[in-house]
Structure 1
Amino acid sequence: MKDMNGYYDFSGQKFGYPLSLSINGFSQNVFTRQSSLELSYVLCGEYEAVTEQFSTIVHKEELILIAPYEMHLLRKRCGKDDGKILTIHIDFDRMPESMTGEVKGQFYSGVFNSQKNPSVYFPLKRKIGELVKMLMDGQSNLLRLNVLMAELVCFSARENISLEELPLQSEYQENYLKAIKYIDEHFKEPLTLQDVADQLSFSLSYTSKLLKKYMGIPFSKYLSYVRVRASLEALLEGKEQIEQIALECGMPNGKAYTKTFRELYGILPSAYRRQFRQNLKYSKDEEGRVMQLDEEQKSLLFHLVEGNRQMVYEDAKLVIWKEQEKFCCQVKEMWRDVTVAANGKIEVFFEET
């Protein structure tokens, strides 16, 4: 059963601000799609990431970037229940279009680590660490927060991942995603498994087996999870009663909603709402809100915060950092020659462009 241990949520969106950050040990189990750019950093454990383009395993200290409007799921790997993940959302719907332009097509979903794509991984990891440190210190400099958010967006848009390099989907996976998309678009309606099968021209038995195979749970349970997951924003706003929220998201009543919510998150919706409000409290002197973290969270975040102090140098061609008392260097572009002077100074000569 899931619980709220390890849960933290900073939601600037509560105040109309585009950025939010959360730390939790939940397993998503439900496909979602949102207008925000999503950056998830695995603090511990392993996760399975499934998108419209690929599926893969994301390991500790790896980053997964989810492009806006991409259908995706991020869940703990089977048998790996110790996972904790830090997730940042930057919601472009809360920004004027004059600042962002056309968002679709500007980002590509993918997984980043120190070996495969360091030129994107290290800048993103460093900026995430700076954001965490800022919140941990209770800093309230909105301009600095804006700069960090803009840098995260820019670094995320750098990498164009060739679709040819991504794992190809099988016919069964394609059919599965078609069914998932249809559920995502119609979950507020009195939807049945037969409706999904008819819409996609599948047999009822095939549709049932297909969804059970890839979701691991029956259709009715998955549909309930989708409805509850879609209700979170309304729940956290705190303006409506649980019964009303349940009906608006497609659940039959508040009792069924509460049962499903507890099954999905391991906590009552009313307690979830209270926990969220607690995380939103500001001090009376209106200084920045300090992240209220437990010792486990602080331990998991330590390398992110301290790692920023180990960065030595970075530009468009070169990045140098200190790791375990050693200096590490990553050359981002083609280089012509490297020399080491008698005093230990290293010179890197790049090809002329």
Structure 2
Amino acid sequence: MQNMNYYYDFSGQKFEYPISLSINQFDRHVFSRQSSLEISYVLKGSYEVTTEHLSSIIHVHELALIAPYDIHMIKPLQQDSIILTVHLDFSYLPHYMVGDVSHSFTSIICNQKQNKVILEKIQQQLGILFLQIIKGTNNLYELNQVLTSLIYIASHNQKFALEELPLSSKNHENYMKAILFIDQNYQQDIHLEDIAQNLSFSISYASRLFKRYTGVNFVRYLAMVRIRHSLEALLAGKDSIEEIAFACGMNSAKAYSQAFKELYGITPSFYRKQFQNNLKYNKDQQVQSMQLDKKQIELIQHLIVDQLVYQDENMMITKQNDEITYVIKEVSNKQIHQENNQMVIKSNNC
């Protein structure tokens, strides 16, 4: 069950963009696993985080970074807990942007005692992202900058040389042919055997291709493709769930709902209801981008700092109106002097 009072959704997937973001009060006690990188940031209350390799509790303004394909469960410990969830879906990105996903990311907890620098850097990027949403710009290039920054931060500065990228191979070429076949035929009643026959593969070879390059089997990958292609019709609200299911290639509304819940954790009808309840209309009754309301902005206000100019572990520069403030943290042996009407700060540990 979810409380609708704080619900907000920014779904890049509708536009086949890798970033999706939501604020909610979900109460889901099931394990999930997805190909995306997940950032779960507590806005109120506390949550228990469980993965294959860790178990911890995160409190307000702390986060869990969940690596792709890690089985995990995040459940609230108080009824009024609120969480911000960001997904970076690598299936929308070329492999050269993320390297070896299975080894580049690790599930970790970030708070004031552990991974503090990563926490602060992610908070900064979330603030930039929310500032765009509040201003209503959604500039693609600024979003891309946030996306690449979050990927780099989440990789914990791991090094991955260009030369380490897999060379173009016959297997990868065959995989791309299989993906293209699905993109062109997902609305039909297709099976792994159809791909194998159409592309002159053996069934076992086709199965291995999907497992190797997507991390999931053919059936799950096909369901993901169908669900993603159905989002626009689902959110438009004109067709029934059954009509949407058949249009995207599912054989029943029940199969569609089950696949949707596996992917998003809620039913498609509930997902549609949440979206429609949060739609904003202009004076001509045309749908506008969903806007954050006052209660939501209060929750994320500490992230926004709309005057933030620069921040790292040693310095923060903010601008409010015409006033610029420099906050320098734990700097010793500093030398401050003026050169050509400029203030210069030199430090041994900056």
SS at match of 1:275: helix
Would the alpha carbon gap of residues 96 and 322 (structure 1) be closer, same or farther in structure 2, given more than 3 Å must change?
closer
CA displacement, residues 99-121 of structure 1 (integer Å, 9 cap, x when unaligned): 33321110111111234323211
- Quick one: which of 114, 131, 135 aligns to 1:137? 135
CA displacement, residues 294-318 of structure 1 (integer Å, 9 cap, x when unaligned): 3211110111112x6356553xxx5
SS at match of 1:50: strand
Partner of residue 339, structure 1:
333
- Quick one: which of 81, 84, 87 aligns to 1:83? 81
Q: 1:1-353 to 2 correspondence within 5 Å?
A: 2-77=2-77, 80-158=78-156, 236=231, 238=234, 241=241, 244-248=252-256, 270-277=269-276, 290-306=289-305, 309=307, 313-314=311-312, 318-321=313-316, 327=327, 329=329, 338-341=332-335, 347-350=346-349
Q: Unaligned stretches of 5+ in structure 2? A: 159-225, 246-251, 319-324, 338-342
CA contact (8 A) 1:120 1:156 kept: yes
- Report the Cα distance in structure 2 between the residues aligned to 1:2 and 1:62, rounded to whole angstroms: 21
CA displacement, residues 14-34 of structure 1 (integer Å, 9 cap, x when unaligned): 121111011101123111100
TM-score, normalised via structure 2 length: 0.62
CA contact (8 A) 2:65 2:154 kept: yes
CA contact (8 A) 1:47 1:59 kept: yes
Of all paired residues, the percent bearing the same amino acid is 37
CA contact (8 A) 1:311 1:320 kept: no
Would the alpha carbon gap of residues 8 and 67 (structure 1) be closer, same or farther in structure 2, given more than 3 Å must change?
same
Aligned length: 254
Give the letter for the 1:339 counterpart: N
- Report the Cα distance in structure 2 between the residues aligned to 1:141 and 1:5, rounded to whole angstroms: 28
Give the letter for the 2:106 counterpart: Y
Q: Of the two structures, which has the highest relative contact order with CA contacts closer than 8 Å and spacing of 6 or more?
A: 1
Would the alpha carbon gap of residues 233 and 32 (structure 1) be closer, same or farther in structure 2, given more than 3 Å must change?
farther
CA contact (8 A) 1:235 1:245 kept: no
- Report the Cα distance in structure 2 between the residues aligned to 1:294 and 1:131, rounded to whole angstroms: 16
Give the letter for the 1:110 counterpart: I
Q: Unaligned stretches of 5+ in structure 1? A: 161-230, 252-256, 258-263, 332-337
Partner of residue 196, structure 1:
none
- Report the Cα distance in structure 1 between the residues aligned to 2:34 and 2:347, rounded to whole angstroms: 43
The structural deviation recorded for 1:136 is 1.3
- Report the Cα distance in structure 1 between the residues aligned to 2:256 and 2:273, rounded to whole angstroms: 21
CA contact (8 A) 2:241 2:268 kept: no
The structural deviation recorded for 1:41 is 1.1
CA displacement, residues 306-342 of structure 1 (integer Å, 9 cap, x when unaligned): 2x6356553xxx522379x9945168xxxxxx31458
- Report the Cα distance in structure 1 between the residues aligned to 2:100 and 2:281, rounded to whole angstroms: 35
- Report the Cα distance in structure 2 between the residues aligned to 1:245 and 1:345, rounded to whole angstroms: 66
The structural deviation recorded for 1:272 is 3.4
The structural deviation recorded for 1:59 is 0.6
TM-score, normalised via structure 1 length: 0.61
Give the letter for the 2:49 counterpart: A
